[in-house]
Homo-oligomer: A and B are copies of this chain.
């Protein structure tokens, strides 16, 4: 499996998990948190799936396509987890969905990022809300794994429910 194969599988798994979450969360109140705007592709997908909900985005800077940018009121610019703590204060534990694409190419850096951000994620979420992540959040207090959609290979992407 080449890196081209891997990214295609990863993006398909991400999309399947987000689509499944939208079904599971239909009719629930709560806003959406997108950890990492990047070029705005996933943000674009989220606003299509959740056209009415507030979507708050976290990143160090805005480097997305010009047409995939949240307004300032929905943007937390700076280093995570600092901005996550700020959001926990301002928004409370009211997110029904958190999407966190927080892996790096480097495994050690990824582990440090998961250790820094993972425990903060449930403090932002409403009970019954879902966290979709490219990394396992297993063992983080307040989160329980949810079975993946049938077309997502185990370990490719992850879904957790806030207890």
Contacts and interface: CB of A to CB of B under 8 A. Distances in A.
A29 B148 CA distance: 46
Contacts of A74: none
A146 interface: no
B5 A8 contact: no
Per assembly, the copies of the chain total 2
B8 A4 contact: no
Nearest to A15: B4
Given A65-B105, A105-B65, A45 B11 contact: no
A2 B105 contact: no
Interface in A1-59: 2-8, 11-12, 14-15, 39-42, 44-45, 48
Given A2-B48, A48-B2, A7 B41 contact: yes
Interface of A: 2-8, 11-12, 14-15, 39-42, 44-45, 48, 65-66, 68, 105
11 contacts: A2-B41, A2-B48, A3-B39, A3-B40, A3-B65, A3-B68, A4-B15, A4-B42, A6-B41, A8-B11, A8-B12
Given A3-B41, A7-B41, A8-B12, 7 more contacts: A3-B45, A4-B14, A4-B15, A4-B42, A6-B41, A7-B11, A66-B105
